[in-house]
Chain A
Amino acid sequence: MDVFIAQFPRFLDATWLTIWMFVLVTTVSTLIGATLAVLAEWAGKPVSLPLSVYSWVFRGLPELIVLLGCYLALPAIGLDLGSVGSAILGFTLVGIAFQLEIFRAGLNAVDKRILEATRALGMSWWLTMRRVVLPQVIRIAMPAWATFLAGNVKIFAVASAVAVTEVMAVTRQAIAVSDQPFFLIMVAAGIYAAIASILMVLEAILSRRFSTRYGLGLRR
């Protein structure tokens, strides 16, 4: 317990670091991933094919390899982002790949016959996207998006491997200066469980709100 009290400020800092990195990575990768999904839909094969290769690579690679690549390999070509910068870039690259697929699946799930109706009403492609398609995509993609995020936050522990002083790194350092590894591991687990639980609760609230409003799912 003494170790924990002594290390408490560092655990707090590390938790805060994990949270803001996660929020930043999520925001950026969601925006870019969704935009790329729409772009692929609009431009067809010439854009969607390279994007498929991208998402295949970055969804397939272990996060650790992507992060080490950003942290160790990029400086070799003159781009040194530091440990936190490398971690953010790495997670964002992977995040974009997942978000791209989530929003692509959402776009594919929209009944394409709707597009005939909007054309017949004189609505342009962009107007159709903005007013008719994207509101549906958000509704359809929401559960997958939230599920991905709730599971994704724990991956941020990998950032400790590139010298980011997030929760896992602080835990390891605290273990090194004390003889209570079991207790400290439990502290780290508790922190991740707390963050993931908040996300899961948000996921449940959002899913319910969307399904009752639009009548998706079982409720009629």
Chain B
Amino acid sequence: MTIAAAEKSPILEVHGVVKRLGGVDILKGINFTVAEGSVVAIIGASGSGKSTLLRCLNMLIVPDDGEIVWKGQRVGWVQKGSTWVRQKEKELLGYRTQVGMVFQSFNLFPQMTALENIIEAPMTVLGRKRSEIEEEAHALLRKVRLSHRVKAYPHQMSGGEQQRVAIARALAMKPKAMLFDEVTSALDPELKGEVLTVMRELAAEGMTMILVSHEMGFVRHVADEVLFMHQGIVKERGNPSDVLVNPASAELQAFLQRVTD
């Protein structure tokens, strides 16, 4: 697919998404689209709503207003006659299997080995055969350079290793897009690199990625578009080489100064 064609048919559309939590407007009407195979980076100070927005995309948090549209279909709502009916948690599970997510705190299953973490959801959710998925899991562990850690438990691995297992676990569901929520923020500087390398390779393979990140170097080199969030709105957006180099707003200028210091 050419880039022009991809832009005509976004895989994910976000229209006017609003979220209030405890009387506070966290998101005040967010709009953006994600073309298939592109990388969108969401940046902003803590409390700007980045993580909430990311969770709205796979309905871990249900927006109060607005629409998330995945491949042309509204997420979380079904039309019955002329009225829209909200889907139950159970009915959202199918959608979630198509969108992988990786978290700041890794969230691996502590009682399972690296391999078991990866094969768990494909086996129990997708109902795939253990022998079949194990082969794929080994390939995924090779991809994230952890072939030697197949039988390691999370507590025996470094943060960087755990996070790479978490990426492999999400990929095992064969998602069409991946969400990354500050996945290197909890890592020591020397461990960030190994995770970012894996992510860079994924982007190069054409994976659609939406990431919340403070790694400005990574965002500049890998993202196709960057969204700067400030107090629940998208304050600035565009190509990272423009937006990050020539920030228009005082807020983004101040933010960039803080994160690059």
Contacts and interface: CB of A to CB of B under 8 A. Distances in A.
A207 B111 CA distance: 15
A135 B166 CA distance: 19
A214 interface: yes
A53 B94 CA distance: 40
A75 to B, nearest CB: 48
Given A113-B105, A113-B107, A136-B110, A120 B100 contact: yes
Interface residues of B, number: 31
A214 B110 contact: yes
B153 A121 contact: no
A215 B155 contact: yes
A156 B14 CA distance: 64
A215 B156 contact: yes
B107 A116 contact: yes
Interface stretch (B20-28, B118-126, B134-142, B207-215): B118-126
Contact of B60 (A116, A132, A139): A116
A188 B110 CA distance: 44
A9 to B, nearest CB: 47
B42 interface: no
A62 interface: no
Interface in A80-97: none
Nearest to B169: A121
Contacts, number: 73
B96 A121 contact: yes
B163 interface: no
A214 B153 contact: yes
Range of interface residues on chain A?
20 to 34
A113 B110 CA distance: 12
A122 interface: yes
Given A116-B60, A215-B153, A220-B155, A124 B107 contact: no
Contacts of B166: 117
Contact of A131 (B58, B107, B110, B120): B120
Among B90, B125, B153, which residue has the most Cβ atoms of chain A within 10 A? B125
A120 B156 contact: no
Nearest to A117: B107
A195 B76 CA distance: 57
B32 interface: no
Contact of B121 (A123, A125, A135): A123
A127 interface: yes
Contacts of B111: 135-136, 139, 214
Contact of A123 (B99, B105, B125, B179): B125
Given A113-B107, A136-B110, A139-B111, A121 B155 contact: no
B103 A220 contact: no
B101 A114 contact: no
Contact of A122 (B93, B108, B155, B179): B93
Interface in A103-124: 111, 113-114, 116-124
Contacts of A214: 110-111, 153, 155
Contacts of B179: 120
A119 B62 CA distance: 13
B153 A124 contact: no
B68 interface: no
25 contacts: A111-B107, A113-B105, A116-B101, A117-B109, A117-B166, A119-B60, A119-B89, A120-B60, A120-B99, A121-B96, A121-B121, A121-B169, A121-B173, A122-B96, A123-B93, A124-B90, A125-B89, A127-B124, A127-B125, A131-B124, A132-B120, A135-B111, A214-B153, A214-B155, A215-B153
The 4 closest A-B pairs by CB, nearest first: A117-B107, A122-B97, A120-B101, A121-B121
Interface of A: 111, 113-114, 116-125, 127, 131-132, 135-136, 139, 214-215, 220
Given A116-B101, A119-B89, 20 more contacts: A113-B103, A114-B107, A114-B109, A116-B103, A116-B107, A117-B166, A119-B60, A120-B96, A120-B170, A121-B125, A121-B169, A121-B173, A122-B96, A122-B97, A122-B121, A123-B121, A135-B111, A214-B153, A215-B153, A215-B155
